[in-house]
Amino acid sequence: MSPHTLVSETPVTPATVLCEEAINENLLKGLPVNDEDYAIIVGVSHYASLAPLHAPITDACRLRNWLIKADGGNMHPKHVFFIPSAPGSNAPDQLAIDKALYDILQMAEARPARRLYFYFSGHGFGANWEVNGMCLPIWSPSFYNAALSSKAYLDLLVEQDRFQEIYFFLDCCRDRKINTKPLHSMLGSPQAGGANTMAVVLYASEYENPAWEGMMNANGNLQVHGYFSRALMEALNGGAVNNNGDITITSFIDYVREKTESYAHERNHTQTVRSDIRNNKHGLNHVIHRTGRIPGTVLTITFETAGDITLDGPDLNNIKAGPVQAGETWLVPLGKGYHQITNKTTRTSAFITIDGTLKTMHYAF
């Protein structure tokens, strides 16, 4: 059976660039870091038999760097295990990933652990709706099961009860492959337990559906990203911030879902993020990351038609009103949320969504 898990739009050489070392400024200054947090970040762009992917290493690198940066995850670099693939190599294999997990579990046993991030970007398949295969570089029709079982790994991590929170992000396809049995960790099979660990799981797509990567513009630079990973990074970089300056579970999931769908839709694809949450004793407003920044955008509105205009905010407060001529522009700073612009003369109206990720935006009305 030919694998149908490669969904790359861009025929360029897979990422071979090294991920630049990230620095935690707080560590240099002797300030506190989140040394109770850990991460395994796996990016597999190179496959022995499958088509190369272009985004996984880049995306994995971005997440790694965010986790380490002081104004990001503020983690100790030694707690972030970055596991990229390399051209012409079958690395990483299961052992490499299990070894990283083992090291983390050892560290987490020595002192209290708060959080574990697990991220995988690469080829994948849906063995069934709850088991995703994360394909290792060696995967081929002859090594049909050379993929890690998302469920077995998640179950194993949760049942350890070693972490308070686990964030499990999978940016890979979930096209179904029948009669597959992705691999369990060599560290053991899940046992009873795990009632104390909250797990937030985000799959890049629904079961039986592909996850896509494509060329995207990031601050003027064209680069290939997974739509899901791009949304994930934007969410962490402030897109998912609520009006208190916090990223909560719900604001995070909503943002990633909405943006992934939107990126896919812009390119005539459908991709719907699937989330599952286990053991959430904190509620959906539990804060994942505090930024202290209130999101906003300076919007330039260009009027194509003259008329008497009103611009209302999320709670219907009037932000600006007055007559305009065709070609005239308004420059308005807006907070995150829905806004409604109405031309009372022509009786036309539109909703404008400010998601807080862009500093400036243009809108034609």
Partner 1 sequence: MHSDTPSYKLTVSAVGVMADFAHLTVYNGFLEDIARGYEQLDLSLKPGLYSITLKLDGHIIKEHVRLTGDTQVQIPTPPVYSSVVADKFQSSHEYYARNARTYSLQPTVKNGPETGGAIFLFFRYTDVDNRRELNDTQQSLGQGFSLLDAQRHVLFRLEGKHIKEDTDAGWMAFHAVLSPGTYYLHYSGLPGTMEDDAPHELPAREIPLQVFRSGVQSSVTAGQYWQTQVFLTFGQGPIFPSMSIFIAPREQGFVNDDEGNYRIDGLRHKFHNGVYILPEKVLMEFEQGQWASPMKGLLAAYVYFSNPAADKEQLFRNVTQYLPALLGEDTPDVKALQIMSAQYYRDPIPALSLSEPCMFLAGIRAIIRASIRNPDVIVDDSQLEDITDKLYNDMVWTSYQPAPLPEPAETKKAVPQTRSSMTSSIFSVVEKIIGKEKTAEEIGERLLKSQTVSTLLYYIEKLDRDLDVNDLANRLQIPPSVVRKTVQHILKFSDSIKDAEKKPEQFSIRNINKLKKIH
**Residue 310 three-state SS:** strand
Please identify, using beta-carbon distances, which residue of 93 and 328 lies nearer to partner 1: 93
State which of residues 89, 189, 196, 360 lies at the interface with partner 1 (CB under 8 A): 189
Task: Supply the DSSP string of 332-345, one letter for each residue.
Answer: EEEESEEEEEEETT
- Quick note: the x/- pattern for partner 1 over 338-357, rule CB under 8 A, is xxx----------x-x-x--
Between 145 and 164, CB nearer to partner 1:
145
Q: Are 118 and 67 in contact (CB under 8 A)?
A: no
| Segment 1 to 40, residues that bind partner 1, using CB under 8 A | 1-2, 4
Considering only residues 253-312, where is the footprint of partner 1 by CB under 8 A? 254-255, 261, 270, 272, 312
Distance CA 171, CA 124 (A): 8
Stretch that binds partner 1, among 26-34, 67-75, 205-213, 230-238 (CB under 8 A): 205-213
Residues with Cβ within 8 Å of residue 326, at least 6 apart in sequence:
303, 304, 305, 306
Instruction: Specify the DSSP element, H or E, that contains 364.
Output: strand 360-364
- Least distance CB 74 / partner 1 (angstroms): 26
Asked if 102 is part of the footprint of partner 1 (rule: CB under 8 A), the reply reads: no
Nearest-angstrom CA–CA distance, 145 and 17: 29
Binding segment (CB under 8 A) for partner 1, from list 13-21, 37-45, 51-59, 243-251: 243-251
The span from the first CA to the last CA of the chain, in angstroms, equals 51
Name which position in 15, 33, 101, 152 contacts partner 1 (CB under 8 A). 152
| Stretch binding partner 1 (CB under 8 A), from 34-42, 64-72, 162-170, 203-211 | 203-211
Closer by beta carbon to partner 1, 129 or else 345: 129
Judged by beta carbon, residue 70 or residue 202, the one nearer partner 1 is: 202
List the structure tokens of 67.
């986790």
Cα R_g (the chain), whole angstroms = 22
Q: Which is nearer to partner 1, 307 or 313 (CB)?
A: 313
Q: Does 234 bind partner 1 (CB under 8 A)?
A: no
To the nearest 10°, the Cα dihedral for 357, 362, 364, 365? 60
10 Å CB burial of residue 206 (0-12, 13-18, 19+) is middle
Helices marked H in the chain — which ranges? 25-29, 56-68, 94-110, 150-159, 227-234, 249-266
Asked if 313 touches partner 1 (CB under 8 A), the answer is yes
Q: What's the closest the beta carbon of residue 80 comes to partner 1, in angstroms?
A: 26
250 belongs to the binding site for partner 1 (CB under 8 A): yes
Nearer Cβ to partner 1, position 90 or 250? Answer: 250
DSSP letter at 326 equals T
Strand, coil or helix: 328 = coil
- C-beta closer to partner 1: residue 28 or 178: 178
Number of residues that bind partner 1 (CB under 8 A): 49
Closer Cβ to partner 1, 63 or 241, answer by number:
241
Q: Is 106 in the site for partner 1 (CB under 8 A)?
A: no
- Rounded CA gap, 212 and 40, in Å? 22
Nearest to 296 by CA among 216, 239, 223: 239
CA atoms 301, 304, 310, 314: torsion sign: negative
Binding site for partner 1 (CB under 8 A): 1-2, 4, 94-95, 127-131, 144-145, 152, 176, 178-181, 183-184, 186, 188-189, 206-208, 242-243, 250-251, 254-255, 261, 270, 272, 312-316, 335-340, 351, 353, 355
